[in-house]
Amino acid sequence: MDKENSLLNILLIEDSDTDAFIIQNAISQHHKDAHSQRAVTLKSGEEFLQAGGIDLLLLDLGLPDSASPQDTYEQMKKWCDVIPVIIMTNIKDHDLAKTMVHEGAADFLNKDLIAKDPTHIQKVIDFAIERHTKSKRLAQESKDKDAILNVFMGGYSISDK
């Protein structure tokens, strides 16, 4: 997130005009400090992400340039370490949702929930950002501790082989 003006830059990768309208409308109503952009394909979404400046990704799993929901996520999960990735779909597959969250997605949100309660997206976005920030901070603290231990150990690693 841009700290100077605290504007949250959201990328929505969604091919449905109707779903995109509902989602972007919910964001604008309930997340006043957010700016959303839309891509309709994985390829164009990847271009947005590579250009930088995106703080959060809302990813539809059913895109025209993807073979399956799993394929969509496989192509985009590399971004989970960089920014929170929220999967948004109408697929009601609990096991798929668990798998994707286990593999790094920040959350898995059924698009029907947004249509029924537009405030739901604000909560999901806020919590995803908080979890991602905490996770990055913990990872950095772990790296720092490892570096300090490495100095004290003389650059050697102890292994129980």
pLDDT tens, N- to C-terminus, the chain (161 residues): 444 456 899 999 999 999 999 999 999 988 888 999 999 999 999 999 999 999 999 999 999 999 999 999 999 999 988 999 999 988 888 888 889 999 999 999 988 888 888 888 889 999 999 988 887 776 666 676 776 777 666 655 555 55
Q: Give the DSSP letter of residue 64.
A: T
Centre a 10 Å sphere on the Cβ of residue 72 and count the other Cβ atoms it contains: 23
Q: What is the pLDDT of residue 32?
A: 80
b/e burial code for range 76-96 (CB count within 10 A of at least 16 → b)? bbebbeebbbbbbbebeeeeb
Q: Which of 40, 20, 16, 17 has the alpha carbon at shortest distance from 28?
A: 20
Token pair 């603290």: residue: 141
Q: What is the pLDDT of residue 97?
A: 87
- Tell me the pairing of strands 56-60 and 8-13: parallel
Burial category of 14 from C-beta neighbours within 10 Å (exposed 0-12, middle 13-18, buried 19 and up): buried
- What phi and psi values does residue 114 have, to the nearest 5 degrees? -70, -40
Q: What is the pLDDT of residue 49?
A: 96
Token pair 């668990």: residue: 98
Confidence (pTM): 0.81
Q: Which of 108, 89, 127, 120 has the alpha carbon at shortest distance from 25?
A: 120
Please name the helix (run of DSSP H) or strand (run of DSSP E) that holds residue 60, with its range, or none. strand 56-60
Round to whole Å and give the CA distance between 97 and 89.
Answer: 10
Round to whole Å and give the CA distance between 46 and 57.
Answer: 11
Between CA 78 and CA 108, with CA 141 as vertex, the angle to 5 degrees is 35
Q: What is the pLDDT of residue 38?
A: 97
